[in-house]
Structure 1
């Protein structure tokens, strides 16, 4: 910047959310075309951690589109890793298909997840389920929406009436420990759902379709957009033991139930599994 020149304005979260929405719709349509044509499936970290040719094609599409629209930005995605640029105004966090196992099996609970970060903070996000056509979006300070409906978070009900959703790790030993904790939780909450997409689980919480959520460890692309949508809907979130929600743990609840729920998770050792 030269002397006397005005400082560059920070990126507008609403405009970034609009980009995410537009690209998510096109990416979702591409994913469905691959699904209809027949998928090529392989595994990554374990036999249960699967990837398809659609995952890679969708991420390639998103990276190419972002390079055209915003060439100065950085990108990190599940399949191709990071393309970090020094001084980039925005960092995009991509999960081309969150819930790949559901996608492969034809279960209609998977999503394209796109988040935009400025100075390490997520300021815009979109989670799109191509199977249902539901599109969740948020821009920091502007609320969260499902289509045109503003989201206001989960119910405030006693834990023994609350419906909880969670997910399990691909590593068999860690998954076994998570299963034991989930079994203990079943005796303390109303019921449990395991739906298969962290991004959509957070949106489902934001929409009030479930009352509680926890999962960890996670990758940033699993939760970045969904976490913003949940917090913009008024969900209280935590990483447990005084930490903010992040890669180690993401937990969420109605603010009136958060302290009790987070305390229960800590008591049962959820924060120690990762």
Structure 2
């Protein structure tokens, strides 16, 4: 990687902050649904599209040789070997309803935007409604900037599964949800409680910050976890799929080293 992680992180933080200001302003002005995707409840707002176009344009100015991979399309291949993976608004349904649990997620990886092969370099997740900017670089630790104060993040060291607070998420199709609900019947009796906040990037950051002891979800895409999974890892979490696989669409699991195998056992029942 020709450019330093510090430089990439500075760019990612700057652009994520600017994009967060944009989506927060559009939220105050009123949200308009632009289209639906996989199902009628899987919505895209005009702000999703505007934010992704804004981020892509800013990165084209600052890093024109890099690739781009965004949730709303418009992907491009660069020449540097680096790819920016962007979710302009993770938690769009929350955003639509005015629930302050949505984020701009920006990651930089070496290689293709595929968690099975990429090398994560930088991750930034900005929740503008809560004034929380999470960020990490490979080998540099994970941090939260809020209220002008910065703190390093560390996962909880909970070892008892029965005391674990665990989050999950659900897909948009009824068939997928039925499978996810069945899986939940194995998890819920074994843990302290379950949370469903509606934004994968922020769930991963919550694990990093010790607000959750674990998080799992199937059906996620690279833009959902490209940044958050690095932040969780740099805070000490184990992040992956099942049976030693990388995290991906079949399963994304994040927890500390003690609870990860315990949760995994329940997920493969």
Q: State the TM-score, normalizing by the size of structure 1.
A: 0.91
Residue 53 of structure 2 corresponds to residue 55 of structure 1: no
Distance across 1 between alignment mates of 2:264 and 2:183: 14
Deviations 1:63-97 (CA, angstroms, capped at 9, x unpaired): 00000001111001001242113x33310000000
- Counterpart residue number, 1:146: 144
- Counterpart residue number, 1:80: 73
Please say if residues 157 and 257 of structure 1, whose CA atoms lie closer than 8 Å, have aligned partners that are also in contact. Answer: yes
- Counterpart residue number, 1:261: 263
- Report deviation, 1:157: 3.5
- Counterpart residue number, 1:21: 13
- Counterpart residue number, 1:132: 130
Residue 174 of structure 2 corresponds to residue 178 of structure 1: no
Please say if residues 11 and 90 of structure 1, whose CA atoms lie closer than 8 Å, have aligned partners that are also in contact. Answer: no
- Counterpart residue number, 1:123: 121
Deviations 1:48-69 (CA, angstroms, capped at 9, x unpaired): 1111000000000000000000
The range that moved more, 258-267 or 128-137, is 258-267
Please say if residues 11 and 89 of structure 1, whose CA atoms lie closer than 8 Å, have aligned partners that are also in contact. Answer: no
Tell me the secondary structure at the aligned position of residue 249 of structure 2. Answer: coil
- Report deviation, 1:183: 2.8
Please say if residues 186 and 266 of structure 2, whose CA atoms lie closer than 8 Å, have aligned partners that are also in contact. Answer: no
- Structure 1 portions without partners, runs of 5+: 1-8, 268-274
- Counterpart residue number, 1:168: 170
Structure 1's consecutive aligned runs of 4 or more residues displaced over 2 angstroms after TM superposition are: none
Distance across 1 between alignment mates of 2:212 and 2:73: 32
Distance across 2 between alignment mates of 1:145 and 1:94: 19
- Report deviation, 1:155: 3.5
- Structure 2 portions without partners, runs of 5+: 112-117
Q: Name which one, 1 or 2, has greater alpha-carbon Rg.
A: 1
- Counterpart residue number, 1:243: 245
- Counterpart residue number, 2:25: 33
Distance across 1 between alignment mates of 2:139 and 2:105: 19
- Counterpart residue number, 2:231: 229
- Report deviation, 1:11: 2.2
The one of 43, 57, 68 equivalent to 1:64 is 57
The one of 184, 189, 194 equivalent to 1:192 is 194
Length, aligned pairs only: 258
- Report deviation, 1:34: 1.1
- Counterpart residue number, 2:115: none
Please say if residues 44 and 50 of structure 1, whose CA atoms lie closer than 8 Å, have aligned partners that are also in contact. Answer: yes
Please say if residues 125 and 229 of structure 1, whose CA atoms lie closer than 8 Å, have aligned partners that are also in contact. Answer: yes
- Counterpart residue number, 1:270: none
- Report deviation, 1:262: 1.5
Residue 43 of structure 2 corresponds to residue 43 of structure 1: no
Deviations 1:188-213 (CA, angstroms, capped at 9, x unpaired): 11100000000000000000001011
Distance across 2 between alignment mates of 1:78 and 1:10: 26
Distance across 2 between alignment mates of 1:154 and 1:174: 30
